[in-house]
Amino acid sequence: MAKKKKAKKPLKKKECPFCKDPSLVIDYKNVELLQRYINEKAKIVTRRSSGACAKHQRRLANAIKNARILALLPFVRR
């Protein structure tokens, strides 16, 4: 069976929300913000869906990991 190519969503270049708004501070204590970047299973969302640049995605991931250790965010959600 021939593989069907999936229809690709049009790629829109999204500006990094953290570069765009310097008042947004990535911090492990800023749970409200970090929660927006984990999915329903408590995984860190990909750059594709977060829209963050490499630098900020890295900081985001580190902040989320820190917050998890401090039990501010869950490791896994069922």
- Rule CB under 5 A: say whether 18 interacts with Zn ion: yes
- Number of residue whose CB is nearest Zn ion: 16
Interactions with Zn ion, residue window 37-76 (CB under 5 A): 53, 56
Give min distance, CB of 15 to Zn ion, in A.
Answer: 8
Q: Which stretch binds Zn ion (CB under 5 A): 12-20, 22-30, 37-45, 59-67?
A: 12-20
Distances (CA, A) of 76 to 5, 8, 41, 68: 32, 30, 6, 10
Give the helix/strand (H/E) hosting 46. none
Q: Which residues pair with 44 in a beta bridge?
A: 38
How many residues make contact with Zn ion (CB under 5 A)? Answer: 5
Which residues contact Zn ion (rule: CB under 5 A)?
16, 18-19, 53, 56
